[in-house]
């Protein structure tokens, strides 16, 4: 039985911060230190800011109890823009972690040649069951 795969296009609620350290001489840029600045947030547990993906700590802790592979978790420095502070002065935000994708074609998490996040059907089921992906586009992906 062959496994089905899906391309995920997560919400982009902000941008890389000034403290982000990256090598932009390669594509995609290689990030050494990540600072993410929220401008807004629609509530998803998986978010993106090229070339990085972030995951809520709650979903990350659940993910850590599975045998899903192709990723590692790193710390991220989170900040909030003045726009965010103005729009959501009393908003309580969850903690986020940096979801670093290290898988290869056929793993539960991997990147395609355009740096799109690809996940296995089993992984997508887990993410939907334990997290909020309401603003994440999901497209069928054919593994070549």
d(CA 4, CA 122): 8
Closest to 68 (Cα-Cα) out of 55, 82, 81: 55
Among the listed residues 109, 135, 106, 137, the one whose alpha carbon sits nearest the alpha carbon of residue 123: 109
Q: DSSP 3-state assignment of 88?
A: coil
Query: Which of 120, 116, 137, 108 has its CA nearest to residue 44?
Result: 137
Give the pLDDT of residue 128.
96
What pLDDT does residue 1 have?
Answer: 42
pLDDT of residue 59 exceeding 50: yes
- Which segments of 6-134 does DSSP mark as H helices, in order? 57-63, 82-87, 121-130
Q: How many CB atoms lie within 10 A of CB 6?
A: 18
What does the pLDDT read at residue 33? Answer: 97
pLDDT at 11 over 50: yes
Q: Tell me how far apart the alpha carbons of residues 29 and 51 are, in angstroms, rounded to a whole number.
A: 7
Averaged pLDDT, 85-98: 94
């Amino acid at each position: 039985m062959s496994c089905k795969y899906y391309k995920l296009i997560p919400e982009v609620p902000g941008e890389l911060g000034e403290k982000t350290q990256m090598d932009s001489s390669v594509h995609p840029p290689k990030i050494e230190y990540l600072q993410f600045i929220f401008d807004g947030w629609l509530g998803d547990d998986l978010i993106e800011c090229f070339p990085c993906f972030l995951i809520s700590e709650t979903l990350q802790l659940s993910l850590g109890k599975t045998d899903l592979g192709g990723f590692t978790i790193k710390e991220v420095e989170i900040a909030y823009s003045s726009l965010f502070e103005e729009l959501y002065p009393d908003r309580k935000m969850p903690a986020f972690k940096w979801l670093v994708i290290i898988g290869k074609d056929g793993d539960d998490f991997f990147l395609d040649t355009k740096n799109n996040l690809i996940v296995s059907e089993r992984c997508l089921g887990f993410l939907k069951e334990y997290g909020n992906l309401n603003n994440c586009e999901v497209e069928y992906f054919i593994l070549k």
